[in-house]
Chain A
Amino acid sequence: MSTPRLVALTALLSLPAAPLWAQADEPAAPPTPVEPAVAPAPAAPVEEALEQDESIYVVQRRVYSKKGAFELTPLFYTSLNNKFVGHFGLGLAAAYHVRENLALELQSSVPYVGDRFFSALVYEVYQQEQLTPEAVDLKQMDYFGGLSVLFSALYGKMELYSWLIDYDFFVTAGVGFVSTIETCVPERGDCSEEVGGTGQGIGRGVHSPEEAGDRFKLSGNLGGGMRFFFSDRLGLRLEIRDVVYSDRAVESNEVTTDIRNNVLFFLGLSVLL
């Protein structure tokens, strides 16, 4: 299925579109004779209208082919729905393109690279004891990885300064694995006595939950994005993915649970191997 081929994306990128092509039907040498200016031929609207009912298509070999190729993508990610906690960091994705429009992908964040943080809202609500967020809401995702299927049914192309760029839209779904950490409770687990009482701030530090079940979760991934290919080897990838998992926290013998939706935005540079 073909998509409109230029307008939406050039507008999106706010970049001026290049002219369709430069006229260059004469070779450089010998010097081309100077021609008198020729008035452009008058348009023929009637003729054009008559030809509108011809069924014309372009059946074109793909400029950049992905089938059978491995795609390696270093990614930067950041969370978008930072209600209480947020994340950013680096990731890596390795995909194999089974077909032009279908790929299997392994994706992982890079541990210890990037950061997690409490949102400003957490600090605000802690000023008012009545509005303390539930413990589960303060848990932070410190690792995610997964296996996904990428399917791309829509494609398009655009020309930017005589540079042909192919793009496609894809949807992705898969299963994965996440690791979470929770806020500290004084004298519990590896949290010290002083924690929380010595002005360490509202966040009170974070640590890994004592129960492995509270730390490691199975997750589902659902998302979509867009890939631009500038050459047979290089591309740019934009993606939004929701990493969904069920989470649980225990604080002062009170258990809180939640279905967590971590909506992440990814920006990556794809290399086709």
Chain B
Amino acid sequence: MQTLKLALSFLLVTSLALPVGAQSIDEALRLYKADDLEDAAFAFYDVMQTDANPDHRDQAEIYLAETLRKLGMLVPALFYYSDLFRVGRSNRYYLNAVDGLLKVQEALRDSVWVPVLINELYNPDAFGELDPERAAQINYLIGELSFRQRKNKDAKSFLEYVPPESNLHAKARYLLGLLATRADDPDGAQEHFLAIINLIDEDDPSPELRRVRNLALLAAGRNAYGRGKLDEATEHYAKVPRFSESWFAAMYENAWAFFRKEDYGRALGELQSITAPYFAKRFIPEAFVIRGTTYFVNCQWDRVRRSVTQYKGTYEPMRDQLQAYLEESRDPAEIYRDVVAGGAGRFSIELAREVRRTQRFKDYHHMITHMAWQRRNVDETPVWKGSRLANDMTMTIDQHLEATEKVAGQWAKLRLSEMLAQLNNYQNQINILDFEVADAERNWLEQGKEILKGRRARLPRPNIPNDQWQHWSFDREYWKDEIGYIQHALRSECF
């Protein structure tokens, strides 16, 4: 208590005694309007620290936050916006602070700090006074946060409040679709996914909206596949635009759909496409499982064995290495850095790339690299050098950077653990395949059938739908424009 009193007395004294050279709010505003932002930041900070008038201090703080945001110093801006936001609606700059926080969230692609803060101090009455797009952004952020926290009911409520006019509507619908899937309502989920596909044009100028549309196509394909509607699944997968981010996943998953439709040539063709050099270093253990299973049902034992051998040669060591890595105790930040460094020799680059390819990791990485830049910028801005403002900013950025690396690392570890579980699962499937093929070969030998195959004759080419299609022979030379159009000609060798 004594310490607190002392601190308050010190604050009182420092705030009342205006030191020589201290800035006035008017001078700070003049610098701000003259676009001399670095000096303005310094001046606002000075006013905030020294001005006796609390209203001036609040004004200086909101302007300081605005100035820093304009300078790209997003984390310090976040700090000062948060400070005013925490005061509540009674502060006359409250709504400005909320608006600033949302702008920082967008620029920083922040899925951690702003969403948690807004969720913690959620004020529906005050937020209702915001611009509709900002209100939609708040609903989306809290909805997404709740979705991640598996608070499904909350997530649904908030996401349903994102109106169709909002840029975030499609993303909200996508999450609503996933929530419906969680609630075991595939029809409801499909409705959401199809709504997104209809809502966003394939050639929409916004890359983000096109990305969401492609994700919705993938999700619609998965959902249809899950309901056993294989033709519909194939149709959705085929609509994912070539060379888009989701295209690889569409072909990969479509292989299973073709397999289930017993269109084995096309199933193998999709797998052939995803192993093209264009997709080098992708994590594709399941491709070998599908390929092996396809050959198995066609009684081509030698080719099953080849798939099993390829899988074991590639993914068994990868699994062992990953298991050892995850079993060791590590700081999450170290895991994040290892992922960034392509596994750093501690686990496969395929795994690292698989983690890095996710939007969430890209967003974390964007935040962290941006924070690192902000940190350097503080040191390199001469006006701020050695000042208390610089010290405060450095401290804030360092704290956020450290914490964000930790969050990113924890998330990366979770993804790596999921991949380990997948590898264990596929390993079991490959082992079963290995056993089954040995058993099948034994049966054939007992029946006096030949199991050793020589070189097989080339089979006739597949049919083409009409003259809008062309045949090319595939000579193991991958042409970029042919990826996704590859088909195997396959004949069952079962007796």
Residue ranges of A at the interface with B (Cβ–Cβ < 8 Å): 1-2, 5, 20-21, 23, 25-27, 29-31, 33-36, 38, 47-48, 50-63, 65, 67, 99-101, 155, 157, 159, 164
A36 to B369: give the CA distance in the assembly, Å: 18
Asked if B479 is an interface residue, CB under 8 A from chain A, the answer is yes
At the interface with chain A, which of B58-66, B173-181, B483-491? B483-491
CB of B369 within 8 A of CB of A99, answer no
A189 to B480: give the CA distance in the assembly, Å: 67
Set A25, A29, A58, A65: member contacting B487, Cβ < 8 A: A58
Residue ranges of B at the interface with A (Cβ–Cβ < 8 Å): 109, 245, 248, 269, 272, 277-280, 306, 310, 340-342, 344-345, 349, 356-357, 362-363, 365-366, 369, 455-456, 458-462, 464, 467-474, 476-482, 485-490
Cβ–Cβ < 8 Å partners of B471 in chain A: 1-2, 57-60
Cβ–Cβ < 8 Å partners of A54 in chain B: 456, 488
CB of B341 within 8 A of CB of A59, answer no
Cβ–Cβ < 8 Å partners of B479 in chain A: 5, 20, 58, 159
B34 to chain A, nearest CB (A): 32
CB of A59 within 8 A of CB of B342, answer no
Main secondary structure of the interface of A (DSSP, over half): loop
Closest to A58 in B: B472
A56 to B469: give the CA distance in the assembly, Å: 16
CB of B456 within 8 A of CB of A53, answer yes
Cβ–Cβ < 8 Å partners of A57 in chain B: 461-462, 471-474, 486-489
CB of A55 within 8 A of CB of B459, answer yes
A30 to B363: give the CA distance in the assembly, Å: 7
A29 to B459: give the CA distance in the assembly, Å: 45
Set A5, A26, A36, A101: member contacting B472, Cβ < 8 A: A5
CB of B464 within 8 A of CB of A59, answer yes
Cβ–Cβ < 8 Å partners of B459 in chain A: 55
- Contacts A23-B278, A101-B467 given: A56-B349 contact, CB under 8 Å? no
CB of B469 within 8 A of CB of A61, answer yes
CB of B278 within 8 A of CB of A56, answer no
A21 to B478: give the CA distance in the assembly, Å: 10
B275 to chain A, nearest CB (A): 11
Set A35, A58, A100: member contacting B468, Cβ < 8 A: A100
A25 to B245: give the CA distance in the assembly, Å: 8
CB of A21 within 8 A of CB of B468, answer no
CB of A30 within 8 A of CB of B362, answer yes
Closest to B480 in A: A21
Cβ–Cβ < 8 Å partners of A59 in chain B: 461-462, 464, 469-471, 485, 487
A30 to B479: give the CA distance in the assembly, Å: 28
Set A51, A53, A55, A58: member contacting B485, Cβ < 8 A: A58
CB of B467 within 8 A of CB of A63, answer no
CB of A60 within 8 A of CB of B473, answer no
Cβ–Cβ < 8 Å partners of A58 in chain B: 471-474, 479, 482, 485-487
CB of A56 within 8 A of CB of B366, answer no
Cβ–Cβ < 8 Å partners of B366 in chain A: 29-31
A55 to B487: give the CA distance in the assembly, Å: 9
CB of B349 within 8 A of CB of A35, answer yes
Cβ–Cβ < 8 Å partners of A48 in chain B: 476
- Contacts A30-B366, A58-B471 given: A23-B481 contact, CB under 8 Å? no
